[in-house]
Amino acid sequence: MVFKYFEFPLLKPSQVLGTSILRPIIPIKISSNGLTVKYDALIDSGADFCIFHAEIGEYLGLNVKSGLREIFSGVEDSAGAEAYFHELTLIIGETAVNTLVGFSYDIADHGYGLLGQKGLFEKFLISFNLLEKEIELRDVFSMTTPLKKEKVSS
């Protein structure tokens, strides 16, 4: 699956960034309890796990705080934020994967949900091509031919 980077125009041109910034934000669907919600999420190789706004979990009928509790930091408005993890289905393109994702009441309202190492990177091979403004995801469990590993000479 190939997705285009989201391009955000800057209000004021930057000497470093130019007139816009690119972010690897992709449309996904989150499904649980027979309900599905569309959501845009940032692919973040620095995120330890997938985490979304708690309101998404509530919409899906989850008792968010009944999930596995974990303390995290980095994307939240306050230090020592809480996430509550639930098993559900992420749908990316035509691929549905069951995975554990966190929901938090501490994510900034203006932020995006994050697709991180646990939950996304363990399920997909991800290529970022900034020159072409594309992100490619390949489901590692349905790949029919293994990737060739090239030897690096020392």
> Which of 99, 72, 73, 69 is CA-nearest to residue 85?
69
Instruction: Report the distance separating Cα 126 and Cα 133, nearest Å.
Output: 14
> Which range is least confidently modeled, 29-38, 87-96, 104-113?
104-113
List of residues 6+ apart from 46 with CB closer than 8 A: 74, 116
Q: What is the pLDDT of residues 10-59, one digit of tens each?
A: 999 999 999 999 999 999 999 999 999 999 999 999 999 999 999 999 99
Q: State the chain's mean pLDDT as an integer.
A: 87
Tokens of 43: 């692919």
Q: What is the pLDDT of residue 81?
A: 85
Q: Read off the pLDDT band of 78 (50, 70, 90).
A: low
Q: Read off the pLDDT band of 79 (50, 70, 90).
A: low
Sequence length of the chain is 154
The answer to whether residue 77 scores a pLDDT higher than 60 is no
Q: What is the pLDDT of residue 146?
A: 44
Q: Mind listing the domains of the chain with CATH numbers?
A: 28-124 (2.40.70.10)
Span 133-150, mean pLDDT?
Answer: 67
